[in-house]
């Protein structure tokens, strides 16, 4: 659990500042579940430069609550939370100072989004909150006010969580959490998992990830693991201290995240799956008569494949599908062993390329359309799918047919600049396994939006 925090102060000498405004969002890695926003009477004058910067003046705070009147609410909303702020050292120091004036020792774990951004977004020209969110395309309002800056920090933190493929943020949070077992019963853990699409992580006592999975219904999948009775599941159940998760909004991002994060983290309970890479592919070449032929063959990473498949049946079904959709010839594509014309030609459903009746140029145009429709080999595009919230969409970026990464953008955000897209996305490697995942997803989802980039 996190408490996203921003504080505005009077300015002045070190440790003599007073709080003028506070905004806190209690965030469970999925959504905001509580919030507290309030002006605060600091009982001292605000420095003129601060008034100019924030727009908060002394008259506005005359009837605002004093810090001791909001202290209990701050303690409650940040209970069992890690404080997250942009320049967390400053906000945390201010809070501790105010509480110490009341004779109360306030202690919380903290994370700084400046430090996290420097680690996870290493090529940014500036790490000030305003410039950073602008470069990432994050909409922000009420800049230099506690609520506006806290909301911008929350949106930034969501990006950082998504980019943290090694899950160091979550693992460190669990490792430094209060002592004692997180939940006495596995049922308590399941209760906290949403019935939504995402990737889930099983952690042991040290916070180390011991299992990674993904599902369209994470609650059901985690519950299934906890109710299995085989030795593999029993051993996993014994070691679990916590289950965390990342919402992905759609299944394709979940599949890509799971594949990459298993590779990075190497969880002890994830069985090695040798079938991740495709086993079959469709290749193209030209016949001696100039017709472009598509043929199914064993996958060879040294050859350029148009499409990738896990099973021969999957490849055959797809070949029949594009033959029907684009009126291609079964004989030229290896689906018919007829010595002369294919069966479809005899019933008038083939234009006769198999017997030379249709010109190669006309036939090859339809083959090219089929390749352009379903193959990623030369595609420069953004695949747009559902996001984690109703006001965002998930994107998967392809360049020259190669996967670049995934990210999330606001529904109002227009993809116009390559550099902003590069900043938003979490990089992912492009390999035959990821190519297969993307291709198979596109084949199943005809309504998927692909925008040229």
Question: Is residue 248 within 8 Å of residue 394, measured between CB atoms?
Answer: yes
In a domain? residue 272? no
Residue 237 tokens read as 């159940």
* Pair 407, 431 in one domain: yes
Determine the Cα–Cα distance for residues 109 and 2; give it in Å rounded to an integer.
10
In a domain? residue 186? yes
CATH of the domain at 11: 3.30.420.10
* Pair 290, 416 in one domain: no
* Pair 11, 82 in one domain: yes
pLDDT the model gives residue 274: 53
pLDDT the model gives residue 179: 36
* Pair 15, 106 in one domain: yes
Residue where a domain stops, chosen among 132, 163, 194: 163
* Pair 27, 57 in one domain: yes
Going by their DSSP bridges, the two strands 449-452 and 307-309 should be labelled as unpaired
How many Å separate Cα 334 from the centre of its chain? Answer: 40
pLDDT the model gives residue 260: 93
Number of independent structural domains in the chain: 4
* Pair 23, 159 in one domain: yes
Residues 6+ positions from 101 with CB-CB distance below 8 Å:
67
* Pair 178, 159 in one domain: no
In a domain? residue 270? no
* Pair 156, 24 in one domain: yes
Residue where a domain stops, chosen among 265, 299, 318: 265
Going by their DSSP bridges, the two strands 198-203 and 392-399 should be labelled as unpaired
Question: Is residue 394 within 8 Å of residue 247, measured between CB atoms?
Answer: no
CATH of the domain at 248: 3.40.1440.10
Residue 450 tokens read as 């692909």
Please give the residue range of the domain that contains residue 396. Answer: 381-452
In a domain? residue 213? yes
* Pair 23, 146 in one domain: yes
Question: Is residue 83 within 8 Å of residue 5, measured between CB atoms?
Answer: yes
Give the residue among 109, 108, 86, 219 at the shortest CA–CA distance from 156: 86
pLDDT the model gives residue 415: 65
* Pair 156, 246 in one domain: no
Comparing 107-111, 183-187, 264-268, the range with the smallest average pLDDT is 183-187
Residues 6+ positions from 79 with CB-CB distance below 8 Å:
none
Comparing 65-74, 180-189, 260-269, 310-319, the range with the smallest average pLDDT is 180-189
Q: Tens digits of per-residue pLDDT, 255-310?
A: 999 999 999 999 999 876 555 789 999 999 888 789 999 999 999 988 888 889 99
- Percentage of the chain beyond pLDDT 90 is 43
* Pair 357, 240 in one domain: no
In a domain? residue 294? yes
| Phi then psi dihedrals of residue 41, to 5 deg | -80, 110
What's the sign of the alpha-carbon dihedral 414, 418, 424, 428? Answer: positive
Residue where a domain stops, chosen among 163, 187, 205: 163
In a domain? residue 271? no
Tally of CB atoms within 10 A around 149? 26
Residues 6+ positions from 42 with CB-CB distance below 8 Å:
9, 10, 17, 18, 19, 20, 61, 67
* Pair 32, 156 in one domain: yes
């Amino acid at each position: 659990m996190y408490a996203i925090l921003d504080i505005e102060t009077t300015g002045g000498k070190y440790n003599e500042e007073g709080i003028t405004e506070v905004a806190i969002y209690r965030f469970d890695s999925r959504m905001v579940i509580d919030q507290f926003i309030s002006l605060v009477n600091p009982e001292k004058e605000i420095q003129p430069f601060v008034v100019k910067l924030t727009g908060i003046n002394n008259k506005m705070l005359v009837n605002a609550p004093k810090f001791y009147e909001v202290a209990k609410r701050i303690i409650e909303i940040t209970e069992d939370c890690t404080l997250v702020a942009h320049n967390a050292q400053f906000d945390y120091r201010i809070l501790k100072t105010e509480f110490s004036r009341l004779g109360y020792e306030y202690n919380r774990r903290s994370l700084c989004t400046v430090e996290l951004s420097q680690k996870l977004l290493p090529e940014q020209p500036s790490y000030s909150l305003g410039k950073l969110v602008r470069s990432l395309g994050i909409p922000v309002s009420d800049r230099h006010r506690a609520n506006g800056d806290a909301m911008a920090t929350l949106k930034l933190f969501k990006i950082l969580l998504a980019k943290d493929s090694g899950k160091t943020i979550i693992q460190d949070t669990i490792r430094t959490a209060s002592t004692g077992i997180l939940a006495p019963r596995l049922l308590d853990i399941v209760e906290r998992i949403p019935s939504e699409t995402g990737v889930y992580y099983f952690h042991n006592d040290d916070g180390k990830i011991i299992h990674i999975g993904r599902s369209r219904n994470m609650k059901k999948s985690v519950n299934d693991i906890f109710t299995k009775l085989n030795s593999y599941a029993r051993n996993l159940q014994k070691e679990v201290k916590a289950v965390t998760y990342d919402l992905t909004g759609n299944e394709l991002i979940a599949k890509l995240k799971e594949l990459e994060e298993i590779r990075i983290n190497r969880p002890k309970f994830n069985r090695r799956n040798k079938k991740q890479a495709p086993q079959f592919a469709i290749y193209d070449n030209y016949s001696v008569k100039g017709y472009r032929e598509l043929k199914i063959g064993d996958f060879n990473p040294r050859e350029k494949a148009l499409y990738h498949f896990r099973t021969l049946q999957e490849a055959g079904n797809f070949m029949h599908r594009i033959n029907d959709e684009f009126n291609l010839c079964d004989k030229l594509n290896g689906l018919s062993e007829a010595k002369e014309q294919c069966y479809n030609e005899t019933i008038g459903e083939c234009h006769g390329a198999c017997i030379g009746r249709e010109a190669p140029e006309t036939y090859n145009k339809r083959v090219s359309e089929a390749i352009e429709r379903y193959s990623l080999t030369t595609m420069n595009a953004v695949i747009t799918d559902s996001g984690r919230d109703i006001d965002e969409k998930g994107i998967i970026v392809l360049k020259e047919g190669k996967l670049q990464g995934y990210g999330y953008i606001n529904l109002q955000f227009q993809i116009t600049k390559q550099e902003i897209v590069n900043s938003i996305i979490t990089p992912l490697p492009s390999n035959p396994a990821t190519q297969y995942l993307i291709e198979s997803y596109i084949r199943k989802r005809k309504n998927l939006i692909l925008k040229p980039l």
